[in-house]
Amino acid sequence: MVDPDVLRQRLKRLEEYISDLESVQQTSLKEFKDNKVLRRFVERTLQLAIESCFDIGSHIISASGYREPRFARDVFAILAEHGWFDNELARRLEGMAGFRNVLVHDYATLDDDVVFGVLQTRLPDLRAFGTSILRKLAQNA
């Protein structure tokens, strides 16, 4: 059974990561590229936010007895299969899973323009994930 308290705690952490990222969204691309500390902050916080989504999803999957994901990105498809959110959001989040892999494994070849683009355009996907989980949690209460 899904533990609502565990999910709320993890969702709170996800919200903190999203808020931290939103606080630097008004940064210009030039400032982003020129500020190594800012770039590293954004990269690491994006990684943590995406991993929070994996963690939340994995808790739901395990506690609910859903099929086991073969890859991290599968977490989102499995949740969509069980009505936690729609397939379109799952598809976008699967893309974020791929981006997380780049952050972690291909960090030496990161493209600042891509990271900045994710900062500017993909935070609503992370927020939609959290909102959807909270909504479904409330329906199941």
Domain containing residue 14: CATH number: 1.20.120.580
Domain count, the chain: 1
Query: Alpha-carbon distance 79 to 24, whole Å?
Result: 30
Give the range of the structural domain holding residue 40, as residue numbers without chain letter. 4-140
pLDDT at residue number 109? 86
pLDDT tens digits for range 91-131: 999 999 999 999 999 878 899 999 999 999 999 999 999 99
pLDDT at residue number 78? 98
Q: Between the CA of residue 87 and those of 81, 92, 108, 115, 137, what are the distances in Å?
A: 8, 9, 32, 24, 18
pLDDT at 89 over 90: yes
Q: Across residues 16-38, what is the average pLDDT?
A: 98
pLDDT at residue number 1? 82
Query: Alpha-carbon distance 29 to 130, whole Å?
Result: 27
pLDDT tens digits for range 38-68: 999 999 999 999 999 999 999 999 999 999 9
Q: Across residues 22-34, what is the average pLDDT?
A: 98
pLDDT at residue number 57? 97
pLDDT at residue number 93? 97
pLDDT at 30 over 80: yes
